[in-house]
Amino acid sequence: MNAQLKASFTIKSDTICRSVAAVFTSTATGGTKPYKSLWQFGDGDTSTAANPTHYYASSGVYKVTHYILDAIFDTNSVSKSITVVALPNPNAGGTKRGCWGHGVLLTTGLPHMPVVNWTWILGKDTVRNTFKGDSIVVNDSGSYAVKVQNSFGCIGFDTVNVFFNPMVKVKSMDTTVCYGDSVILSSGSSKATWIDPIHGNKIISTSATFGFRAIGKTGYGTSAKFGFIISQTGHGVTCTDTGFINVTVNTPSHPVLSPLASKCINSPAFLLSGSDSSHKNGTWYYPKKPSAVVNNYLYPSIMGETDNNPALGYIHYLYVNQYGCITDDSVRIKISALPKVYAGPDTIICKHNGKYLLSNAFVNPAGGVWFPLNGTPQTAILFSTNHDSVFFDPMATGVADTVYGVIYTYKAPLSCSNSDTVYIKVTDIANAHWTMNYLGNKAFFHAIDSGLYAGAYQWKFGDGNTAIGHSVVHQYASNKSYAVSLQIAVAGTCTSSYDSTVNIIRSGIAANQSANFSVDIFPNPFYASAWIQYTINKYARVNIGLYDITGKQVSRILDKYQEPGNYQENIDAAKLGLPPGVYILKLMTEDGFVSRQIIKL
């Protein structure tokens, strides 16, 4: 007799993950084989397989019943419970976007899991790196896959894409500015938020730049510290960074300038100095006339007089320290004008008049000294004991008929000196003798000494008429004797005269005029040259000669046969060597001659 039929089964695991197959194995005994099975999985699904597998769609606790039917239709059943655990469902966020340089936090979205593995994937499933932990911070773009496993061994997956906006980076810096400067700080961005940590972290500006004045009343007289935050928004993410600028305010020290010695307006250019050792290599300048100071050299003649105007003469010293901070200090220099000195008029003296006195009694201002000009013979200068007067001796050895000079120098109380020179023309009395030629009812007078200016010669012709010049012409009205006098006066002091009597017999040189030729001379009188124009009416031998007042021929200008016509010849005084005087030009043919008086000046 068979044992009683008994249904039984085993479950590979009575707790499984939702995605894992439940494996059932029948272990029925007794009864009459073969067996037929019917399985009820508790979720509405059934199976008639002897050893089935089953996937549960949902988590939960399910009652599994196993029915056995043997060959003689005996039945038996048994039930057991199976727990289906839900799969962990991580949620990494889908897509994350962060700021370059700042990490992005990734989490599973679940409570702590026993096992969490992250994988960074770049491109097509190229594993680049792996991480562990419920949360991680990533700094690179790409796809990140997370795999979690709970305590039941159930596994869940998720993937998140991470992107980064371009880096927003500020540059902190330290800088030094000068006290009193207006300072503009730049964030390097189009917009920034400026914070003042020294004064309670208050927001002081929301512009790209921030400006302040580095002085005490602004609160930034010695130092300052500013924070600035810049931001950039893209794809819905705002990236920021914070920087700091530490500002040191430099207050430059002022140089100590030494007083400058007074100068004369004719003093040479000199190098300016006088600053203390801590402020060397500065730059001097004169604002009122920049050209007066060049390369730290001061030119007194360009600066001009400053001692009589307290607003003038302040030259500035510009010093720049290692931080570029500038100090501008000034010191006054007195430039004195030269004293106005007058030593007296220039003069002409005659040797025969004796010594000439130059005295401080005639100068302005008095109190100077006299010295001879270079080239003036020392023998001609006779000084008084204290050099305040001097005699010039025209009869001294070495003195000629020329110009000499004596210098008068005066030194003012401020040590500026100036000079004036008296020029002395030494001359001797002229030779007043003269000569006279008479031609064509005209008397031609000529001084033997003709080297002076025309006004020096004063003629008296004895008939009440006078003239000036070294060569003069006078026409007397009647035949008689006349007392003629020439006085030559130089500067009103050197005079000489010569008197003589001339006998005048009015006559002329009668020209044997011919109708067959004519002659003209121009200019007349002349200096360098004159032209002779003449006309002959028939073929003839023409002879032209030039004679002095005594009748001596000085040149034969022409001697040749000529056809009827108009002709001209030139009298070249230099070529012929003609001195000033009166000459007779004579043109002759076989028909007669013509004489013309010519005066060479």
Among the listed residues 459, 463, 468, the one whose alpha carbon sits nearest the alpha carbon of residue 486: 459
3-state secondary structure of 466: strand
Q: Whole-structure pTM over 0.85, yes or no? A: no
Instruction: Let me know: does 578 contact 570? Beta carbons within 8 Å.
Output: no
Q: Which of 50-59, 268-277, 515-524 has the lowest mean pLDDT?
A: 515-524
Question: ∠ CA 191-195-196 to the nearest 5 degrees?
Answer: 145
Q: What is the mean pLDDT of the chain?
A: 86
pLDDT of residue 126: 57
Among the listed residues 25, 31, 24, the one whose alpha carbon sits nearest the alpha carbon of residue 76: 31
Q: Which of 19-23, 418-422, 470-474, 501-505 has the lowest mean pLDDT?
A: 501-505
Convert the pLDDT of each residue in 373-395 to its tens digit. 888 888 888 887 777 788 888 88
Q: For residues 459 and 466, what is the distance between their CA atoms, to the nearest angstrom? A: 5
pLDDT of residue 507: 46
- Residue 568 has which token pair? 């001209």
Q: Per-residue pLDDT for 450 more than 80?
A: no
CATH fold group of domain 434-503 = Immunoglobulin-like (2.60.40)
Identical fold, 347-427 and 434-503: yes
Instruction: Let me know: does 573 contact 527? Beta carbons within 8 Å.
Output: yes
pLDDT of residue 65: 95
* Domains of the chain by residue range: 9-85, 95-165, 173-250, 263-336, 347-427, 434-503, 517-600
Instruction: Let me know: does 547 contact 512? Beta carbons within 8 Å.
Output: no
Instruction: Let me know: does 439 contact 422? Beta carbons within 8 Å.
Output: no
So what CATH class is 347-427?
A: mainly beta
Domain covering 9-85 in this structure, CATH number? 2.60.40.10
Instruction: Let me know: does 484 contact 436? Beta carbons within 8 Å.
Output: yes
Q: For residues 154 and 83, what is the distance between their CA atoms, to the nearest angstrom? A: 13
Q: For residues 404 and 399, what is the distance between their CA atoms, to the nearest angstrom? A: 9
β-partners of residue 270 are 298
Convert the pLDDT of each residue in 480-530 to its tens digit. 888 889 888 876 667 888 887 777 765 433 333 445 667 888 888 888 999
Question: Average pLDDT of 131-151?
Answer: 88
β-partners of residue 535 are 518, 566
Give 558's Cβ-side CA count (13 Å radius). Answer: 21
Q: For residues 225 and 212, what is the distance between their CA atoms, to the nearest angstrom? A: 12
Q: For residues 234 and 256, what is the distance between their CA atoms, to the nearest angstrom? A: 59
- Residue 156 has which token pair? 């869940």
Q: Per-residue pLDDT for 215 more than 90?
A: no
Domain covering 173-250 in this structure, CATH number? 2.60.40.10
Check if CATH label 2.60.40.10 holds for domain 95-165: yes
Place of tokens 């003449």: 534
Please give the CATH superfamily to which domain 517-600 belongs: Macroglobulin (MG2) domain (2.60.40.1930)
Among the listed residues 518, 531, 532, 508, the one whose alpha carbon sits nearest the alpha carbon of residue 591: 518
